[in-house]
Structure 1
């Protein structure tokens, strides 16, 4: 996991084609409208607390987070049980599912090849932020 890429203010916009895209059977061609959307407003909950992280590794593939993906992490969200979080264990970043029930706190991988992280005596865990989006590239260009 690399260090965060800070959010840089300013509008980032793209054209939104307002037409449903079916992932099942194709539908007949339909009229559609075009408009511009600000990706910052669409992807960021709190722009002042949002950061980008590049994923390194395969521990979260079970929920569609792959090596090389870019995560949007929001530091203003209070982490809760079962959320995907960016954690820091002994000064190293990791992305995992947060398991928190009473005093039992673990970080759970979403790949059966990786065991849960259960803190040992003397280890420090900080939840750096909550993952809100995964930007996954479908085509290598």
Structure 2
């Protein structure tokens, strides 16, 4: 069972958001224009009372940009549809996978060729806890 992290929605932390975009190619001098303030709760979360955080474990979703120990933001208010990345319970086990519906039958697909798709067979129970709307990860291993 994953360790769930509940966000503090009554806490606002607005940080400066600079109007300049940072080029990922050739560097250019940045201007000091402050566009506004940014509260990550407001930016990342549309439905606060229906949202939870959970940490990813493992490498089955690498090609979807989800890495081991990433913080996933999951919205329970969204109806999961074909191609969404979801947190699902199958056979009592939680997993993060891409939901695929083929010929009316659901599958849970990994985003790593080293893992096999999970077929939800007739009579099996699939419970979708929510749709993953963001994955947050550190850019270095020292953090």
Shorter-chain TM-score above 0.5 = yes
Q: How many residues align?
A: 141
Deviation, 1:92, is: 1.6
Alignment partner, residue 136 of structure 1:
137
**1:77 is paired with a residue of what secondary structure?**
coil
Give runs of ≥4 in structure 1 deviating > 4 Å: none
CA 1:100–1:121 in structure 2 vs 1: closer, same or farther (change >3 Å)? closer
Distance in 2 separating the partners of 1:97 and 1:12: 32
- Give RMSD over aligned pairs: 1.7
Q: Does 1:2 align with 2:14?
A: no
| Structure 2 gaps, min length 5 | none
CA 1:111–1:32 in structure 2 vs 1: closer, same or farther (change >3 Å)? same
CA deviations over 1:82-121 (Å, ceiling 9, x no partner): 0111111122210000001342210000000001000245
Deviation, 1:12, is: 3.1
Q: Does 1:84 align with 2:106?
A: no
| Structure 1 gaps, min length 5 | none
Deviation, 1:123, is: 2.7
CA 1:6–1:91 in structure 2 vs 1: closer, same or farther (change >3 Å)? farther
CA 1:122–1:73 in structure 2 vs 1: closer, same or farther (change >3 Å)? same
Distance in 1 separating the partners of 2:97 and 2:87: 7
1:7 and 1:48 in contact (8 A); partners too: no
Alignment partner, residue 114 of structure 2:
113
Q: Does 1:49 align with 2:35?
A: no
